[in-house]
Chain A
Amino acid sequence: MKNKRHPGLFAIPYVLWIAFFVILPILLIVWYSFTNTNQHLTLQNYHTFFANGTFLRMSLNSFWYAFLITLATLLISYPAAYFLTKLKKQQFWLLLIILPTWINLLLKAYAFIGILGRQGLVNQFLQLFGLGPVNMLFTNFGFLLVATYIEIPFMILPIYNAIVAIDPALIQASEDLGASKWQTFRFVLWPLSRAGVESGIQAIFIPSLSLFMLTRLIGGNRVITLGTAIEEYFMTTMNWNMGATIGVILIVMMILVMLLTGNKPAHGRRMHHE
């Protein structure tokens, strides 16, 4: 086994890939964020961000909406994933859940415009019962609805995988030993499926922080997140440095979320060692 002597060789393509397409771009963003339009080093961009109430409010907004989207998806997805594991043709149902992700996001957004609009399907249905047109487009509710719909598959899949991996004997044992349904869920099912929930949360919360297309198409720019600001700084005012600063702050926020949600087992292990 000659390969054993050069295990590093296999890594070369991946290392190159990571260096050029992950590390370098992030370094570039960080560099931009610490310079001004004349390429002088400065902290001004960060000062602007933290001294300006608008940006802080926008960050809070982003966090709040990302939180709501994640919460709504979790509440819908966890039971769905659980019942999925009880079904007979699981692969078929899974396929149905994955199917919408094959359709382009923009198309889905436009489809929702048709559904939620003043003369859309929902309002036509309501009018059958004599209910006047309800305004759903360009509302917070509409925005949350569409964002949740789009994210659901990304939450169901990891949770389903986690629950499927649980040995059914454990659940049976819990029930046999007299645990109530709630206790079984709380002390057996939930801890064992937690890894799936965590990766689902990461997969949804983090991209939701910087949504900007949906905020305009469905939210009508009445929901403003940091993504909107980044788009504006790069595309309209051409102040790439400030845009990069917001980008860096988003990255930091995302790292915080990762730290808060992930790696619980590792903590446990470390405790044993110490």
Chain B
Amino acid sequence: MKRLMIAVGAILLACLTLWGASLKLTESSVASGGKRLIIYNWGDYIDPALIKKFEKKTGYQVIYQTFDSNEAMYTKINQGGTAYDLTIPSDYMVTKMRRGKLLRPLALQRIPNRKYLGHDFLHKSFDVKNAYSLPYFWGTLGIVYNDRLVKPGSIKTWDDLWQRRFRHNILLVDSARDMIGMSLASMHYSMNTTNALQLHLAKAKLDQLGPNIKAIISDELKMYMIQNEAAVGVTWSGEAAEMLSNNRHLHYVLPKPYSNLWFDNFVIPKTAKNLAGAYAFINFMLNPKNAAQNAAYVGYASPVQAAWQHLPQAVRRDRSFYPTQKMVKKLMVFKDLPPKMVQKYNDLFLEFKMYAR
């Protein structure tokens, strides 16, 4: 009996200590006080040297945490108990977070470096007045091909993917919105359509791509393209940039008639404790030199137009990564669709994956 009591006591004690410790930990990360800045960003989406530089310059201690999908980030912030001072959602997610009252309006006068941002990248439909967000990176959805397996210049439009010569040789990225969007764009429909007929037509067209598809994957796509596993991959521009730098046979095309233009944006969540630090960081990252260094490291395109002159000429002149103004105007930004529509897109995509043969 005595032994049993000791055992139960020990368990209770262990539980209490762990509980206390976890309480202490959350407390210290919540009560970030004046000198801590908690940033919640996508994985591998910033040049770590810049964080060091920022810490040195301002004296803030940066705590950098990462997420791997907009939805995961949304869930975490929505559930509370976090104290992120800054996070980087994509376009449609900015709208969703704003609707969910998770964002704090930006005091733009505290971000003087916003003047370096290119005009084409401001006032987009997801935040017309830039009241809540400023762009961090932007990019497109496009096609990567391997010139050992595909004649350069022979892929110009989305429709080219449907040709028989690519049988079992295309890798698609596992994202419902992007893939249904691709099919919609190839038929000149809006990539934000809520028209049931257009969606079904898009899905039917995607089904016909079935025999050409080798796999529908996510991050691994990069590795497979680098290893010459497939002739063609459909993916985002920044991913493509990384592939290109690892395999000189790869090329990126922005297909006609149009494609998706996406933005990842600085926002300050309601939970932020260190506002001064968050503004200082946004300002720091919009500094043209820093923005250029970051863009060179990450590989996505920077909306800080004044930074472009600091980039190597080969990058700046590459029309598939830095398309002309005329091309950008044609690109389509995703809107935040109501949950029912999001479900519809995903259901259709899941159905497509099931029967894709």
B72 CB within 8 Å of chain A: yes
B339 interface neighbour in A113, A235, A239, Cβ under 8 Å: A239
Shortest CB–CB separation between residue B11 and chain A, in angstroms?
6
Complex contacts, A13 vs chain B, CB 8 Å: 8, 11
Residue count of chain A within 8 Å CB distance of chain B:
33
Total CB contacts across the A-B interface at under 8 A: 78
In this assembly, does B160 line the interface, its C-beta being within 8 Å of a C-beta of chain A? Answer: no
Q: Is B346 an interface residue (CB 8 A)?
A: yes
A119 and B215 contact, Cβ closer than 8 Å, known pairs A37-B339, A236-B346: no
Determine, out of A1-9, A86-94, A155-163, A173-181, the stretch whose residues face the partner at the interface.
A1-9
A23-60 Cβ-contact flags toward B at 8 Å (1 or 0): 00000000000000100000000000000001001100
8 A Cβ contacts from A232-253 to B: 232, 235-239
Contact in complex: A57, B354 (CB < 8 Å): yes
Kindly identify which residue among B1, B220, B342 contacts A6, using a CB–CB cutoff of 8 Å.
B1
Whether A3 lies near B1 (C-beta < 8 A) is: yes
Tell me whether A2 and B215 are in contact in the complex, defined as CB-CB below 8 angstroms, given that A137-B229, A238-B75 are known contacts: no
Q: Is the CB of A224 within 8 A of B346?
A: no
The verdict on A235 contacting B229 (CB below 8 Å), with A222-B356, A229-B350 known, is no
Once the chains are docked, how many angstroms separate the CA of A216 from the CA of B172? Answer: 12
B350 and A224 contacting across the interface, CB-CB below 8 Å: yes
**Known contacts A135-B168, A236-B346, A54 near B354 by CB under 8 Å:** yes
- A223 CB to closest chain B CB (Å) equals 10
Asked if residues B227 and A138 are in contact (CB atoms below 8 Å), the reply is: no
Q: How far is the CA of A135 from the CA of B1 in the complex (A)?
A: 65
Q: Does B27 contact A (CB under 8 A)?
A: no
* Complex partner residue of B215 from A221, A228, A238, CB under 8 angstroms: A221
Report yes or no: A222 in contact with B215, Cβ–Cβ below 8 A.
yes
B307 to chain A, nearest CB (A): 33
The verdict on A220 contacting chain B, using a C-beta distance below 8 Å, is yes
B7 nearest in chain A by CB position: A13
Q: Bound complex: CA of A49 vs CA of B275, how far in Å?
A: 46
| Chain B residues whose C-beta falls within 8 Å of the C-beta of A238 in the assembled complex | 71, 74-75, 339
- A74-115 toward B: CB 8 Å interface, digit per residue (1/0)? 000000000000000000000000000000000000000100
Q: Report chain B residues within 8 Å CB of A271.
A: none
Q: Mark B1-13, 1 if CB is under 8 A from A, else 0.
A: 1001000100100
Known: A13-B8, A54-B354. A221 touches B75 (CB 8 A): no
What residues of B have a CB within 8 angstroms of the CB of A182 in the complex? Answer: none
Q: How far is the CA of A236 from the CA of B72 in the complex (A)?
A: 8
> CB of B218 within 8 A of chain A?
yes
For the complex formed, measure the closest distance between the CB of B65 and the CB atoms of chain A, giving whole angstroms.
18
Cβ of B216 < 8 Å from any Cβ of A?
Answer: yes
Contact of A118 among B8, B215, B229, B347 (CB under 8 A): B229
Q: Give which listed residue, B1, B11, B216, B351, contacts A220 with CB less than 8 A.
A: B216
> Does the CB pair B71–A235 fall under 8 Å?
yes
A119 and B87 alpha carbons, distance in the complex (Å): 40
Which B residues are in CB contact (< 8 Å) with A221? 174, 215-217, 353
- Most A CB contacts (10 A, CB to CB) among B69, B168, B343 go to B343
Interface pairs (17), CB distance under 8 Å: A2-B1, A10-B4, A12-B8, A13-B8, A117-B224, A118-B229, A119-B228, A216-B216, A216-B218, A220-B215, A221-B217, A222-B213, A222-B353, A224-B353, A224-B354, A236-B176, A238-B74
